[in-house]
Structure 1
Amino acid sequence: MNVTFDALPPTARVWIYQANRPLTEAELAAVGPQLAQFATAWTSHGAALSAAVEFRHRQFLIIGLDEAVAGASGCSIDASVRFVQALESALSISLLDKAHLAFRGPAGLALLERSALKPAVAAGTLGPNTPYFDNTVATKAELDARWPAPAGRTWLARYFAPAAAPAGPPARA
């Protein structure tokens, strides 16, 4: 059953898929009915799932599921991945590639290759307060509270930690 994200409880499970480019307004309008149709038809072992599906920031496909109504099974998760793959094909985008990280910068949303993360931190172009879209959030509550979040408050915090001092001789008492 298709619901809005506002109707999902904070405990609802979420999956975030990041596109390799922003969608145009025409693409978003064209895909809207497909998102609603998927959420309406999505089932688990014949039981209707209470789901919401939407694009945010023109670049993130988010699927939300109220597992208190009915939980996702392996088959229903497979169906959602097939749906995402169909969107990739229809829109000529990549949603399943995890090679890029998304940040909100002065010019808007920016993608950074994972391999460029350390150099960007070293150059100061990426800092602990840079808003990061952590697509590993698992619940609607996390999505609402920390998406985006300052990079230094996510799994990226280790990139901003000061270098550990070299181990020296033990202190004498």
Structure 2
Amino acid sequence: MIIDFKKIPKQGKVWVFPSSRKFYSQEIAVLKERIEDFLTDWDDQENSINSSYLLKYDRFIIIAVDDITHSLSLQAHDLLIAFIQELEKIFEIVLMDKINVCYKQGEFVQYKDIKDFKKMIKTKGVSQKTIVFNNIISTKSELNQNWEINIMDSWLGHFLK
């Protein structure tokens, strides 16, 4: 069941799926419809899951659940992963790769292979002020406080020292 994102508790589970490219404007409505259909029907062994989602920067799919009173089973996780893999095929994108780097370049969000990003660091294509996305966060609280962070506060910061 879909609920307002604001009603997901701070310690509610969050998954961030960074897209390998920006979603085209004509894809957004279809993407939202597919996500809403999935979340509406998503259950955990016949228990309704209170869930919500955000699309950020036309590049990130953020799924959140209220799992405080009822922990999600492996089966529910598997259903989510299967759904995300389906989206990857439909939109011809990568969503499951959290090692590659998403970062802000001005007002735009870029996505780079980690090897290419390391090359950019060496050639001063990014600085100590670059904002990167920590896509391995796992709670709503972390989304609000530790998702968009300075590169020096991330695991990538040691490459700039």
- TM-score normalised according to structure 2 size: 0.91
- Secondary structure, in 3 states, of the residue corresponding to 1:39? helix
- Distance in 1 (CA, whole Å) between partners of 2:100 and 2:25 is 23
Counterpart residue number, 1:124 = 124
Unaligned runs of 5+ in 2: none
Q: Does structure 2 conserve the Cα–Cα contact (< 8 Å) formed by 1:12 and 1:67?
A: yes
Write the letter of the residue equivalent to 1:149. Answer: I
1:31 and 2:31 matched = yes
Counterpart residue number, 1:160 = 160
- Distance in 1 (CA, whole Å) between partners of 2:92 and 2:10 is 32
Q: Does structure 1 conserve the Cα–Cα contact (< 8 Å) formed by 2:98 and 2:136?
A: no
Q: Does structure 2 conserve the Cα–Cα contact (< 8 Å) formed by 1:12 and 1:139?
A: yes
Q: Give the 4+ runs in structure 1 shifted more than 4 A.
A: none
- Distance in 1 (CA, whole Å) between partners of 2:9 and 2:133 is 21
- Secondary structure, in 3 states, of the residue corresponding to 2:156? helix
- Distance in 2 (CA, whole Å) between partners of 1:117 and 1:89 is 25
Residues 44-92 of structure 1: per-residue CA shift (max 9 Å, x gap): 1221111112321111111111111422111000000111011112222
- Secondary structure, in 3 states, of the residue corresponding to 2:55? strand
Q: CA deviation at 1:152?
A: 0.8
Query: For residues 55-74 of structure 1, what are the structure 2 equivalents within 5 Å?
Result: 55-74=55-74
Counterpart residue number, 1:13 = 13
1:82 and 2:105 matched = no
- Secondary structure, in 3 states, of the residue corresponding to 2:152? helix
1:139 and 2:130 matched = no
Query: For residues 88-99 of structure 1, what are the structure 2 equivalents within 5 Å?
Result: 88-98=88-98
Higher relative contact order (CA 8 A, sep 6+): 2
Residues 79-127 of structure 1: per-residue CA shift (max 9 Å, x gap): 0011101111222222123452110012611122101233222222222
User: What is the aligned-residue RMSD (CA, Å)?
Assistant: 1.6
1:101 and 2:98 matched = no
- Distance in 1 (CA, whole Å) between partners of 2:128 and 2:49 is 38
- TM-score normalised according to structure 1 size: 0.85
Q: Which moved more, 1:12-21 or 1:89-98?
A: 89-98
- Secondary structure, in 3 states, of the residue corresponding to 2:138? coil
1:150 and 2:132 matched = no
Aligned identity (percent) is 22
Write the letter of the residue equivalent to 1:65. Answer: V
